[in-house]
């Protein structure tokens, strides 16, 4: 059956189409030079209109396009329209039954997936959305018409809801599931640790994403969360003990974790490891070799002696080397270098040995050739960096020779070897869940090891606990971006915050939080205290009042309370402390650098040295070209890491913090703290 425009209608309409023909399951609209096929599965609507003289048919198709036929005799137009519409509706009714079957099956699968007793992860959600999209593409009816069929309506609405409001649906389901779980497993959360887990701790433990970053502020119970997470995986049979890997940055932290796990979970098959111990295991199992850690890594004296001896040899035997080193130390580091054979000067030797260790370690962490290091350096410092690398090259060579002679490896070499074995598929990872402590301290090399493990076993979930506010180890290679841009580096996931500190009072918390968040790059998170404190909980004090302060403290500090005195550098230890044991025998006083105090706490904290200058706090930048090229890029915000260092110092205190400064030469931080409302006192 077909319909044609009249000759006059065709001439006057001046339209490309003058004829429509009904096909088996579609129509063909054509003209002298044009032809358009419209199958029923692309047809959205048919409209019949009457003009002043002639009739008009409109065919709406997918994509909001409209094909029109003008200039047809009105009665013929009506007749054709009714016949076409009947055929189209008949076809549509048949296709709606097929669509209903597909949609019913799809809706049942969605309901099954979203009503399980489990966290609905982003990966699950992506699978649901993909399934909906695929099934929609297999429907015989256009999606724009589906909801007009009663037998398809409810199922289609459900699918559309999960397609267009998927995040809201997922959030609602997970919130409901979390409340149910916290109720059903109340005994677990009350007893898994010595103290009952609070709400935010419990929520982080049960989070079921493949990548979870737990932001754990100072004193918020991160170790409890790590132990509870391992216990939760066992409780819910999400993993066997041997499928759980806990990673810590130091041997002491790993040992403490193991003690807690055995005490609280009675599990000996879950073992916390350092990254180096993990690398050793991968190498042993992936290559059947048992590498030995070099004594140079464990014996500081031996390490410094080797590097210092080679440095002196280079300077004394090669004039160009001596000249290069003199230029480096005096021009770039602005050291006072004596005339003549400066390399024999004890003071210079002592200072340079620490630098040689650090620079060599950065080169070893990089792991690439000297050519690679130079090519990857910013162009503006590349030439100077190349000169410095050439000066360091003999030390790197003697280091490698010493390792070879010893038949051993260093720490960086250990991790590089492990990554290489993983990338070659020579080690099969048994771990379904990797839990990492102090994640803010992670370096690109350790991150690469984690990524290689997960690439080898794509089902591995990563649970990272850390605090970007306490990231203070950039100088040793830690990269803050790996935490603040966690999902960019490790994949789509979730982040949650532990919102209660059990250490310091509200006053200390308010000052510390406001101070750290002046850096806009820090992640904003709640951290509430259980006790109030008062305005004198944080006080700025003239540094010459330290002795008087300790005198007063000897009168009110209780026998079981502790005092922690902190400074930016160890050599800034106040001299008065040398007689503290006899002067204030009842006071429990301990001195540490701020870096060393990480993880410590005390009832009262005294922070020394908030002054300007080369020994001041914030410390002036002392990075050489080597550090500029091989360390992670420094942040744009001024004194960003030094600010975090003071935050760490402030949050060691439970009750009270005294910040000592020279009123004639105060650091920038003194003014920042004063603007936050910290009172200044001449006397304690």
Task: Say if residue 202 is in the same domain as residue 175.
Answer: no
- Across residues 223-228, what is the average pLDDT? 96
273 has pLDDT over 70: yes
Together in a domain, 76 and 169: yes
Three-state secondary structure of 289-310? CCCCECHHHHCHHHHHHHHHHH
3-class SS letters over 500-546:
EECCCCHHHHHHHHHHHCCCCCCCCCCCEECCCCCHHHEEEEEHHHH
For the chain, how many structural domains are there in total? 4
Q: Compute the distance between CA of residue 374 and CA of residue 630 in angstroms, rounded to an integer.
A: 10
Give the CA diameter of the chain: 119
More confident residue, 148 or 33: 148
Where residue 206 sits, what CATH number does that domain have?
3.40.50.300
Q: What is the mean pLDDT of residues 558-568?
A: 97
**CA-CA-CA-CA dihedral for 22, 27, 29, 34, to nearest 10:** -120
Q: Which pLDDT band, with edges at 50, 70 and 90, does 342 fall under?
A: very high
The angle subtended at Cα 650 by Cα 648 and Cα 653, nearest 5°, is 110
* pLDDT for res 13: 60
| 497 located within any domain | yes
Q: Of 184, 217, 234, at which residue does a domain stop?
A: 184
Mean local confidence (pLDDT), 316-327: 93
Residue 12 pLDDT > 70, yes or no? no
349-364: per-residue pLDDT in tens? 999 999 999 999 999 9
Domain end residue (candidates: 458, 478, 501): 501
User: How confident is the prediction for the chain on average, in pLDDT?
Assistant: 94
Task: Determine, yes or no, domain membership for 417.
Answer: no
Kindly provide the b/e burial profile for residues 239-263, where b requires at least 16 CB atoms within 10 angstroms of the residue's own CB. Answer: beeebbbbbbbeeebbebbbebbee
Q: Compute how many other C-beta atoms are within 10 angstroms of the C-beta atom of residue 31.
A: 15
- Provide the β-strand partners of residue 660: 541
Q: Which parts of 139-292 fold into alpha helices (H)?
A: 143-146, 150-164, 166-184, 186-191, 199-206, 222-235, 251-265, 275-287
Based on the fold, state whether residues 280 and 240 are members of the same structural domain. yes
Q: Residue 437: what pLDDT?
A: 97
Distance in angstroms (rounded) separating the CA atoms of residues 129 and 166: 8
The answer on 149 and 43 residing in a single domain is yes
Q: Which own/partner contact pairs does 301-306 have at CB distance under 8 Å and 24+ positions apart?
A: 303/357, 304/353, 304/354, 304/356, 304/357, 306/398, 306/399, 306/402
- 385: Cβ contacts below 8 Å, ≥ 6 apart: 373, 374, 377, 625, 626, 628, 629
Quick check: is 168 in a domain?
A: yes
Determine the average pLDDT of the residues in 182-196. 96
By C-alpha distance, which of 608, 605, 617 is closest to 538? 605
Within this chain, do residues 514 and 662 fall inside the same structural domain, yes or no? Answer: yes
Q: Which helix (H) or strand (E) holds 390?
A: helix 379-406
Closest Cα partner for 641 from 482, 469, 484? 469
pLDDT band of residue 604 (cuts 50, 70, 90) is: very high
Q: At residue 63, does pLDDT exceed 90?
A: no
Q: Specify if 441 maps to a domain.
A: yes
User: pLDDT class for 504, splitting at 50, 70, 90?
Assistant: very high
Flag whether 415 is in a domain.
no
Give the CA distances from residue 493 to residues 100, 118, 121, 210, 480, in Å, rounded to whole numbers and listed in that order: 34, 16, 8, 6, 18
Q: Name the β-bridge partners of 498.
A: 216
* CATH number of the structural domain spanning residue 33: 2.30.29.30
Residues 304 and 358 in one domain: yes
Give the Å distances, CA to CA, from 462 to 120, 451, 491, 492.
16, 10, 10, 11
Q: Is 419 inside a domain boundary?
A: no
Chain centroid offset of residue 117 CA:
28
Domain membership of residue 624 (yes or no) is yes
**21 and 157 inside one domain:** yes
167 shares a domain with 130: yes
In a domain, 365, yes or no: yes
pLDDT at 14: 66
Residue 276: pLDDT band with limits 50, 70, 90: very high
Question: Of 408, 435, 468, which residue is a domain's last?
Answer: 408
Instruction: Specify whether 178 is located in the same domain as 106.
Output: yes
Asked whether the beta carbons of 196 and 190 are under 8 A apart, the reply is: yes
> What is the Cα–Cα distance from 573 to 552, expressed in whole angstroms?
20
Least confident of 6-15, 467-476, 560-569, 611-620: 6-15
| Rounded Cα–Cα distance for residues 467 and 461 (Å) | 20
* Start-to-end C-alpha separation, the chain: 103
Q: Tell me the C-alpha distance between 415 and 365, whole Å.
A: 9
pLDDT at 5 (0 to 100): 83
Instruction: Enumerate the β-bridge partners of residue 49.
Output: 56
Domain range for residue 641?
506-681
Question: 65-74, 303-312, 610-619 — which is least confidently predicted?
Answer: 65-74
Contact indicator for 393, 640 with CB cutoff of 8 Å = no
**Does residue 332 share a domain with residue 470?**
no
pTM confidence score: 0.90
pLDDT band, very low/low/confident/very high, at 171 (cuts 50, 70, 90):
very high
pLDDT band of residue 643 (cuts 50, 70, 90) is very high
Same domain? For 111 and 28 the reply is yes
Q: What percent of the chain has pLDDT over 70?
A: 99
Claim to verify: residue 72 and residue 175 sit in the same structural domain: yes
Q: Give residue 10's pLDDT.
A: 67
- The conformation of residue 5, written as its DSSP 8-state character, comes to B
- Give the span between the Cα atoms of 308 and 296, in whole angstroms: 13
Average pLDDT over residues 66-93: 93
pLDDT tens-digit readout, 376-385: 898 999 999 9
**Per-residue pLDDT tens over the stretch 200-218:** 999 999 999 999 999 999 9
Mean of the pLDDT values across residues 445-455?
96
């Amino acid at each position: 059956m077909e319909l044609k425009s009249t000759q006059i209608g065709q001439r006057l309409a001046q339209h490309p189409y003058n004829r429509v023909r009904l096909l088996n399951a579609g129509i063909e609209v054509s003209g002298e030079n044009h032809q358009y096929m419209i199958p029923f599965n692309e047809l959205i609507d048919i409209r019949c209109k009457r003009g002043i003289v002639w009739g008009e048919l409109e065919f709406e198709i997918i994509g909001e396009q409209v094909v029109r036929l003008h200039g047809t005799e009105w009665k013929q137009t009506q007749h054709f329209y009714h016949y076409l519409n009947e055929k189209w509706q008949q076809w549509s009714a048949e296709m709606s039954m097929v669509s209903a079957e597909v949609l019913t099956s799809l809706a049942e699968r969605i309901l099954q997936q979203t009503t399980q007793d489990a966290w609905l992860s982003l990966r699950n959600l992506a699978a649901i959305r993909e399934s909906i999209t695929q099934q929609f593409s297999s429907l015989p009816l256009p999606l724009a018409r589906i909801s007009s069929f009663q037998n398809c309506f409810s199922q289609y609405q459900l699918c559309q809801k999960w397609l267009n409001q998927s995040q809201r649906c997922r959030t609602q389901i997970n919130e409901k599931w979390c409340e149910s779980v916290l109720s059903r497993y109340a005994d677990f959360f009350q007893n898994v640790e010595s103290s009952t887990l609070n709400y935010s701790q419990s929520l982080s433990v049960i989070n079921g994403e493949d990548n979870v970053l737990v932001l754990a502020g100072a004193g918020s119970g991160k170790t409890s969360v790590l132990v509870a997470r391992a216990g939760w995986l066992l409780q819910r049979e999400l993993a066997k003990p041997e499928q759980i890997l806990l990673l810590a940055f130091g041997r002491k932290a790993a040992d403490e974790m193991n003690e807690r796990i055995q005490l609280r979970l009675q599990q000996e098959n879950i073992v916390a490891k350092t990254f180096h111990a993990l690398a050793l295991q991968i190498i042993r199992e992936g290559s059947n070799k048992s590498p030995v850690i070099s004594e140079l890594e464990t014996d500081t004296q031996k390490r410094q002696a080797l590097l210092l001896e080679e440095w002196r040899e280079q300077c004394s035997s090669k004039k160009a080397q001596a000249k290069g080193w003199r230029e480096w130390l005096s021009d770039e580091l602005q050291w006072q270098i004596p005339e003549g054979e400066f390399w024999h000067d004890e003071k210079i030797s002592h200072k340079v040995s620490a630098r040689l260790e650090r620079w060599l370690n950065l080169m070893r962490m990089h792991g690439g050739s000297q050519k690679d290091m130079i090519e990857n350096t910013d162009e503006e410092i590349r030439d100077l960096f190349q000169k410095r690398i050439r000066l360091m090259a003999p030390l790197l060579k003697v280091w490698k020779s010493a390792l070879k002679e010893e038949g051993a490896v260093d720490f960086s070499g250990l991790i590089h070897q492990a990554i290489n074995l993983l990338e070659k598929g020579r080690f099969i990872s048994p771990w379904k869940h990797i839990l990492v402590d102090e994640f803010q301290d992670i370096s690109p090399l350790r991150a690469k090891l984690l990524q290689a493990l997960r690439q080898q076993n794509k089902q591995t979930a990563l649970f990272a606990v850390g605090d970007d506010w306490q990231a203070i180890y950039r100088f040793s290679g830690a990269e803050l971006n790996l935490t603040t841009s966690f999902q960019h580096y490790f994949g789509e996931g979730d982040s949650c915050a532990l919102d209660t500190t059990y250490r310091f009072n509200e006053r200390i918390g308010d000052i510390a939080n406001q101070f750290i968040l002046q850096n806009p790059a820090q992640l904003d998170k709640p951290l509430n205290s259980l006790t109030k404190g008062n305005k004198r909980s944080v006080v700025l004090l003239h540094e010459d009042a330290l002795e008087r302060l300790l005198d007063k403290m000897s009168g009110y500090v209780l026998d079981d309370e502790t005092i922690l005195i902190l400074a930016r550098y160890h050599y800034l230890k106040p001299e008065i402390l040398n007689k503290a044991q006899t002067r204030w025998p009842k006071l429990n006083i301990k001195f540490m650098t701020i870096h060393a105090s990480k993880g410590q706490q005390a009832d009262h904290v005294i922070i020394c040295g908030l002054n300007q200058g080369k020994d001041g706090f914030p410390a002036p930048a002392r990075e050489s070209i080597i550090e500029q090229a091989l360390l992670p890029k420094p942040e744009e915000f001024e004194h960003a890491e030094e600010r975090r260092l003071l935050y760490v110092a402030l949050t060691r205190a439970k009750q009270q913090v005294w910040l000592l400064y020279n009123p004639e030469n105060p650091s920038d931080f003194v003014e920042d703290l004063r603007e936050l409302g910290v009172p200044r006192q001449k006397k304690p």
